[in-house]
Structure formats: C-alpha cells, structure tokens
Amino acid sequence: MSAQELITEHLDLWTGAVSKKSSSGRGSNGKVELTGVKKLRELILELAVHGKLVEQNPADTPAGQFLERIAERRKELIASKKIKNSKPLPPVTQDEAPSELPVGWSWTRLGSIAEVNPRNVGDDSLEASFIPMPLVTTSYHGDHEDEPRNWGEIKKGYSHFANGDVGLAKITPCFENSKAAVFRNLRNGIGAGTTELHVARPLSSAINPYFLLLFLKSPRFLKEGEKVMTGSAGQKRVPKGYFSETPLPLPPEEEQHRIVQKVDELMALCDRLEQQTSDQLEAHETLVDTLLGTLTQSESATELADNWARLAAHFDTLFTTEQSIDKLKQTILQLAVMGRLVEQDVGDDSAKGLLASIERRKQELVEAKQIKTPKKLPAITSEETLFEIPQNWQWVKFGELGLFINGDRSKNYPNKEEYVERGVAWINTGHIEPSGTLTRTHMHFITREKYDSLRSGKIEPTDLVYCLRGATFGKTAFVTPYEEGAIASSLMIIRPYLPAMRSYIYRYLTSPFGRSQIFRFDNGSAQPNLSANSVMMYAFPLPPLEEQHRIVQKVDELMALCDQLKGRLNQANETRCQLAETIVEQGLSA
C-alpha cells in the first residue's frame, strides 16, 4: 500500500480516534485530544524521513555525491578559520543504520553536514533578532517570533543563529514537545537567543533546512532522544552528541524539496481534518447541551416526558463522548433536586413533616447538651428559589438540616512532620476520590495522642466532608471507609441531624444547582474559599424522606447505566487509538 493510500484510506480512523486529555483546559475541545490526527502527523513525518512519502527519481543526483563536496567544503572552511577545527565524524556503519534506505539516499550525521552551535560576527550597533524559548513554537513548520535587540546586547551569553540555521530545544519538556525552528526573516540575517538550543548551520545549499527540521521532529528521533537525556528531574537535557551524531537519512537535493512540499500538503490536510473534527465535536456538544437543557427547562410533567422521548430517540448518536455522558449525569442530578426524576407519592409525609422531625431531633441534642442552640437562619427569599418544586417539597436553608463543623485551627493543628505510618486518619482535600468516598491508599495518619488533643473537626461514620477552599472547593464525599478521623482546615464536616438524609444531601451538593450555590459566596480571589456560615446559607429544595430514598435509588441506577456506557465508549476509543498506532507501525515497516 502506498503512503497516499495508507493516509487516505483510513480517514475515518484518523478522525475518529480521540482520547481524554490528562489535564483539560477550558473550552469545548480542550477536554479531548485528537489522537488519530496526531498519529497521522507522526506517520507523515516518519514516512518523509525514511523515503516512503514520495517516489524516487533516477535522474536525481545521489546524496553521496554532494556529501563528498560538503566534506571538501568543510576542510576549506576549517583551513580559512571560518569554522572551528573539529575531528571528522565517522561514517555511519551498517550496524548503526536503523533501516534500509532508498536508492540515491545516504546515511550521514548532522555534525558532518552542518556547523554545530555556530557563532555570528556583527557590529554591536547592528539590529538583530532575539528569540527566547517562549517564541519558538512546536509547529512542524518550525515557526518562531523575535524581538529587536542591538547585537552588542545579545552576542554574549546566548546561542547564535542566522537565516537558514536549524535550532532544536534541548531541555525538558521543550524537547519532548518538539520545539524546533528553521530561523528565517531575522533582522539583518542574524540573531541570538535561549541557551537551551542546539543549532546547526548547513554547510551547503544542497541541504534543505526544512528537511532537517522534519528529521528533528520525527517521533523516532524524539523518542530515542528522551532515552539519552541527562540531568536531574525538570532540568534534563539532550546531549550535543545526540544532536550532531545520530545517523541521519539524507535524500538527493531534489527529493528533499519534493518531500518538504508533500509534507506541507499533507499537514494542511491534517489541519483540515483537525478543524473538521473539532467543529463536529463542538456542534455535537452544542446539540447535547440544547437537548439536555430542554429537560431541566420543562414546565410540566407532560412537556418533560415529550422532551425525554425526543432525547431517547437519538440516544445512541448523542452520547458518544465522555463529555456528553458527564453532562447527562449532571442533568440527572439536576432533575433529581428539582423533583422531576421520580413521581411523587401521596402516601409520603410532606417536607413540612420532615422539618418537624428534624426540629425534634435538634432539640433532643440541645437538651442532652451535645450541641448548642443553633442560631436562627433567615427565611428563604424568592430570589433564591430558581425553579418550581413539587407541592409536598419545601425550600429551606441548608443550615437547618445539620451541623456544619470546621476543623481544629488551634496550635494543636498537625504538621507534616507529625504524620505517622499508622494511626488515626488525618483527612485533607486531596483524599476525596471521584467516587465520593475517601482514599484507602494515600491517607495521612496522626497519632492517637495528637488526635485526642484536637478540639474539633472529628468525624463520625454518617458524616460528609466538604471542601471550603483551593482549586477543589465544593468537592464533597462520604467519610467512608473511615469511622474515625479528623479533618484539615480546608475541609468542613456536614453532619445531618437525620443520618438517613446524607445520601440525598450528597446528590444535592454534586448537582449543578448545589454547585451553583458555591458562587453566591465565593470571594472571587485567586485562592477561592468558603466558610461554614456561607454553606449554611445555601438554598436547599427539601423532599419528603421517602422520596429522597427513591431519588437516590433512581440516581444510582441511572449513574450505573452512564458508567457502563462510558466504559464501552472508552473501550471503543482505545481500540481506535490502538488501530491508528498499528497502522503507523505497519506503514513504517512496509
């Protein structure tokens, strides 16, 4: 199969293979990586530098002939002291060559055909280009920007380069991210910049710098380079020897130009595929948002049923991404706290009766001197009730439903030096798992003596913990599997007066409406935080206790179905990504 067929006959796979980003940014397409298109770009680069992207032309002058001329040119430049004298690099042996090359190609080394880390000469007052690392892009074109500086300001202490030179970032993570450039349009033809570059200046016009750039950006070169990096974590660098001595497959001059042109064409195709896929994902997300929005905006049970039927008819085509399934989960939770997920039962006690039971329990605790008499909270206002709830529900302040307990903030607060291997759990925000429970494997522990010295913040088995500050504020969890422990000051304990309510309270706090309450009280600073008093003021739609149980059961059933759907989706995506990887490998070995 030709390179063109390899690329064009698998377009559905290249555009369909997506994976979740490890860390997602904002925006509709920031949550997924177009893995298939990324693999296609890698395939194009590898085919290009191994002679499998364009046909060879027997009329082309073999690379070996101009390599001989370059070797002579090198001797002349050294003799005239225009470049530094250095020992010629040995020819590439058969054992070193990673693969067979097409007719007319030759193995060489970058240090044999280019001056490595050259120096410029110029008047101090000459305007030149200054290029720090942030101005070097990861684009396969090797684009860069520059800043004007006088040459006298930048000629010392920086890497030098000139128009037509090729630069490669040598430090992690810039190297792994393929930061490299062909320097062009430099002011007065010269420049200097970051010292974290290896620079090569071709010794002949028969060397196309853009072909060298393709080689430096090829996946195999980057992968092998990672293995030889030296230095400590965060400061690892690719040695100069790897840059200058790695075997380089060099085609005839004419074929170099054809390869660069073909790569331009195919990368433009990748750009179009990427944009098309991105547009489709964005349109898909908009459609999902619109249709899910009709559910929460339904004004009657009949309208809700009609909107759900419309959604269900296209279920298989709507929920085809992790993001769409996550949005479905959020819609389920929103319907739950709006009283629209399960039917009301006339046999249920009302929310008013539930509040009376809560008040009786509160008084029992006060009389037993287990708690102080709670402060009276202000009544719910109409501005806080953002949707209609069923007749037997009631809007209340969240603080009416339980105790809100801060962690101990006294001098007894444990520090890291006091952690022990085994003891009583010391819970912080990082211990909250996505499942809504606390971690079993990464918990911190304090001694019994330290735990006993704490005045507050001690959990009970029926508690919830709630994050008050930092990037994860609003995150919540049951204290499962711990029956004993204490919380850091970044958390708060929510202890319902009636433990049977905690499962519904958890669903409320993780629902879009529950999450929206956070932003009524967030201080808006760079380190957002809440207070227990703020959380107590949340507006809470309270159902009868029996209906709470039905809601929780229905939510759990639907969430399990969503997880099954996501599992099948992830498996399908993984299969597509593996297929893309296999096609790349087959293309390179053909």
The model's pLDDT over 473-483, given as tens digits with 9 standing for 90+, comes to 889 999 999 99
Q: Report the candidate in 118, 194, 208 with the shortest Cα–Cα distance to residue 162.
A: 118
Q: What is the CATH number of the domain that holds 201?
A: 3.90.220.20
Whether residue 54 is contained in a domain is answered as no
Q: Judge whether 390 and 405 are in contact, CB under 8 Å.
A: no
Domain termination site, one of 205, 224, 251? 251
Whether residue 53 is contained in a domain is answered as no
Query: 153 and 207: one domain?
Result: yes
Query: 30 and 88: one domain?
Result: no
pLDDT at 20 > cutoff 50 = yes
Query: 73 and 37: one domain?
Result: no
Residue carrying the six token digits 């393929």: 178
- Give the pLDDT band of residue 25 (cuts 50, 70, 90): very low
Query: 177 and 202: one domain?
Result: yes
Q: Can you give the residue range of the structural domain that contains 155?
A: 61-251
In the chain, how many domains are there?
A: 3
Whether residue 289 is contained in a domain is answered as yes
Whether residue 356 is contained in a domain is answered as yes
Query: 143 and 290: one domain?
Result: no
Q: List pLDDT tens digits, range 200-244.
A: 999 999 999 999 999 999 999 999 999 999 998 778 999 999 999
Query: 89 and 133: one domain?
Result: yes
Domain termination site, one of 197, 217, 251? 251
Give the C-alpha separation, 460 to 449, whole Å: 18
Pairwise pLDDT comparison (21 vs 58), residue with the higher score: 58
Whether residue 318 is contained in a domain is answered as yes
Whether residue 7 is contained in a domain is answered as yes
Query: 28 and 99: one domain?
Result: no
Query: 359 and 418: one domain?
Result: yes
Query: 416 and 299: one domain?
Result: no
Distances 589 to 55, 98, 501, 582, 586 between C-alpha atoms, Å: 17, 11, 62, 11, 5
Whether residue 588 is contained in a domain is answered as yes
Q: For 9-13, 109-113, 247-251, 321-325, which range has the lowest pLDDT when averaged over its residues?
A: 9-13
- The total of other beta-carbon atoms located within 10 Å of residue 235's CB is 10
Tell how strand 127-131 and strand 190-193 pair up.
Answer: parallel
Give the C-alpha separation, 50 to 102, whole Å: 8
Query: 387 and 452: one domain?
Result: yes
Residue carrying the six token digits 């929510």: 494
Strand locations in 70-143 (E): 106-109, 114-116, 127-131
Mean pLDDT of the chain: 88
Q: Work out the percent of the chain whose per-residue pLDDT is above 70.
A: 91
**CA 509 to centroid of chain Cα atoms:** 25
Give the C-alpha separation, 507 to 562, whole Å: 16
Q: List pLDDT tens digits, range 499-532.
A: 999 999 999 999 999 999 988 876 566 566 788 8
Query: 165 and 108: one domain?
Result: yes
Domain termination site, one of 198, 223, 251? 251
Whether residue 548 is contained in a domain is answered as no
pLDDT at 110 > cutoff 70 = yes
Hey, which residues does 403 pair with through a beta bridge?
495
pLDDT at 580 > cutoff 80 = no
Query: 141 and 127: one domain?
Result: yes
